[in-house]
Amino acid sequence: MAAPELQDDFYCSLVDWSSQNIVSVGLERCVYLWSACSGKVTRLLDLSEDGNSVTSVAFNKQGNLLAVGSTYGGVQVWDTVVNRQLKMMQGHAGRVGTLAWNGNILSSGSQDTFILQHDMRMPSLVAERRLVGHQEEVCGLKWSPDNKYLASGGGDNCLFVWDLHSLSPLQKYTRHLSAVKAVAWSPHHHGILASGGGVDDQCLHFWNTLTGELVKCINTGSQITNLAWSKFSSPLVSTHGFPDNHICVWNYPSLRQLTKLTGHSFRVLHLAVSPNG
């Protein structure tokens, strides 16, 4: 699938893969859907009329709803089965670079440093909760497998852990030396959270959020842009930018590098895992 207008922006999340085997891609002002089964490509939306741009996309667990963040701070929610917009939510004063679903709850992280949480069951277009903690742009959001905790990474080099009900972070990790976009919870080891730092850090950290302790740290030698655990076994995938622009597969907990995939000439900014893992 060609994506000629994919933005080269570390702080955006422009690719996601649904449980219904549909890939969504944000290309400048448009969002396209590609069916991995049929190969059919559909243009879902176009923000050209108001000069807006797509900055993030994220499917819900069922794969029928797609959230789309934009430069002007709005978040649209679309039904991708019938290609119809369901909601348009405001509240952010900067671009929305990261989105994360937790059932009916949609979390959005923005350049305005805030995390907003919307309940799709509520008629209000204003966020139900506003999480304040980061000092710079929020660029990474992931809910834990049990849907109880939200991890957030930011341009302030900080990693926070929030619970479903508190407005203050439960934990704050400050070991990274660069922006934290890459965040992933282990589906196999309860409470284990992985995070990766940007170009001035390049380190992969593993945290035990049950105790608040750093479990392991490894210097990868390159900017870390994304992390994803295997659904069915222990390996973890990391994607990278400067200087190597490669993809690595790590065994956990030994952190032995299983393979290193090369071939990209620019940084690997976006990563999505297929529904079958």
276 is a domain residue = no
- Is the model's pLDDT at 5 over the cut of 80? no
pLDDT over 90, % of the chain: 90
Residues 196 and 224: beta-carbon distance below 8 Å: yes
223 is a domain residue = no
Position 243 scores a pLDDT of 93
Q: How confident is the model at residue 175 (pLDDT cuts 50, 70, 90)?
A: very high
142 is a domain residue = no
87 is a domain residue = yes
- Is the model's pLDDT at 4 over the cut of 80? no
Position 125 scores a pLDDT of 67
Which tens digit of pLDDT belongs to each residue from 182-226? 999 999 999 999 999 999 999 999 999 999 999 999 999 999 999
216 is a domain residue = no
Position 43 scores a pLDDT of 97
Residues 184 and 206: beta-carbon distance below 8 Å: no
212 is a domain residue = no
Residue closest to 246 by CA, chosen among 219, 223, 273, 272: 223
102 is a domain residue = yes
179 is a domain residue = no
Q: Going by C-beta distance under 8 Å and a sequence separation of 6 or more, which residues neighbour residue 49?
A: none
At 237 the three-state DSSP class reads strand
Reduced DSSP (H G I as helix, E B as strand, rest coil) percent helix, strand, coil of the chain, to 5: 0, 45, 50
Which tens digit of pLDDT belongs to each residue from 30-56? 999 999 999 999 999 999 988 899 999
Residues 277 and 19: beta-carbon distance below 8 Å: no
> What CATH number is associated with residue 35?
2.130.10.10
| pTM of the predicted structure, to 2 decimals | 0.95
Kindly report the average pLDDT of the chain as a whole number.
Answer: 95
Residue closest to 106 by CA, chosen among 132, 85, 145, 77: 77
- Is the model's pLDDT at 62 over the cut of 70? yes
Number of domains in the chain: 1
Residues 240 and 223: beta-carbon distance below 8 Å: yes
Q: In terms of residue numbers, what domain contains 123? A: 9-132
- Is the model's pLDDT at 97 over the cut of 80? yes
CA dihedral 175, 179, 184, 186 (to 10 degrees): -10
Position 45 scores a pLDDT of 96
Residue 221 to residue 54: CA distance in whole angstroms = 30
Which tens digit of pLDDT belongs to each residue from 214-259? 999 999 999 999 999 999 998 999 999 999 999 999 999 999 999 9
Q: Going by C-beta distance under 8 Å and a sequence separation of 6 or more, which residues neighbour residue 142?
A: 100, 150, 151, 183, 184, 185
